Amino acid sequence: MSAVLNDGGEIKISAGMASQKSWFELDENFSVKVLSIDEAKHSVEALFKIKGGYRSGKHKHTCETHIYIVEGKVCNHAIGCTFGPGDYCFQADNDIHDEEFMEDTVAYVSYRGNSEQLVEFYDDDEKVCGHFSVKDFLPALNA
């Protein structure tokens, strides 16, 4: 599976059908199928597969994030709401929250940022201990 660029060279789009694309493992809990990346607009469109039992810990999206649950179940502990198949969730820029995946989950996620960084993760002392950026998704685009 390869990626293509638009005429401006900014938008990278996964060629072919996502259903035929392999999942790219980010770590033992997350796999991703990147659908498109626009580095100039700091946006990523992707499908995520998250293992049941994973809990994110406190983190914030440093961008506007739109999430649609395709299958599975996720609990957002900050707002006390559980989302399942067919549910949509909007997470505003700088919204701090903690999610627990109650079962294996597949979600469509759209990150729309103002900078390269999309998500910050916090340790127990509420200091930044990790992050996701637009560039972190580039290797998965060609997988």
pLDDT (tens digit per residue) in 99-124 = 999 999 999 999 999 999 999 999 98
Q: Over 70: is that where the pLDDT of 6 sits?
A: no
The continuous run of DSSP H or E covering 140 comes out as: helix 138-141
> What domains does the chain contain, in order, with CATH numbers?
3-141 (2.60.120.10)
Token pair listed for 33 = 């199928």
Residue among 94, 88, 125, 128 at smallest CA distance from 110: 88
Give the per-residue pLDDT at 78.
87
> Taking a C-beta distance cutoff of 8 angstroms, is the pair 59, 40 a contact?
no
Coil vs helix vs strand at 80:
coil
pLDDT of amino acid 104 = 98
Selected residue with higher pLDDT from 7 and 106: 106
pLDDT of residue 16: 63
Select from 14, 117, 102, 106 the least CA-distant residue to 56. 102
Examine the pLDDT at 10 and tell me if it is beyond 80.
no
Strands 63-76 and 117-122: unpaired
Closest listed residue to residue 102, CA positions, set 78, 82, 80: 82
Under the banding of pLDDT at 50, 70 and 90, the label for residue 72 is very high
Tokens of 118: 């999309």
Report residue 14's pLDDT band, with 50, 70 and 90 as the boundaries: low
pLDDT for 95 equals 87
As a whole number, the mean pLDDT across the chain is 87
Q: Report the amino acid identity of residue 21.
A: K
Cα-flanking dihedrals φ and ψ of residue 86, to 5°?
90, -10
* Residue 17: Cβ within 10 Å count: 8
pLDDT of the residue at 7: 45
Residue among 13, 121, 15 at smallest CA distance from 59: 121
